[in-house]
Amino acid sequence: MKLIDKHKQLIAWYKNKLGLTDYGLLWLVFFKGVFVALVLERLIVH
């Protein structure tokens, strides 16, 4: 349970620091994932 509690604290810290709602944070993480996937795709394919 310690890891889960730490993860929840980290999410809350980022939300407060960036001034985002849960919905905004989800969009941010989504686009971060898309960006990382595109970079990895470029590195592996080309």
The pLDDT of residue 33: 97
Name the band, by pLDDT with cuts 50, 70 and 90, for residue 46: confident
The pLDDT of residue 7: 96
**Residues near 11 by beta carbon (within 8 Å), at least 6 away in sequence:** 25
What is the mean predicted confidence (pLDDT) over 26-31? 96
Percent of the chain with pLDDT over 70: 100
Query: What whole-number distance in Å separates Cα of residue 9 and Cα of residue 1?
Result: 12
- What's the domain count of the chain? 1
Domain ranges, residue 13:
2-45
Does residue 37 have a pLDDT over 90?
yes
8 Å CB contact between 15 and 22: yes
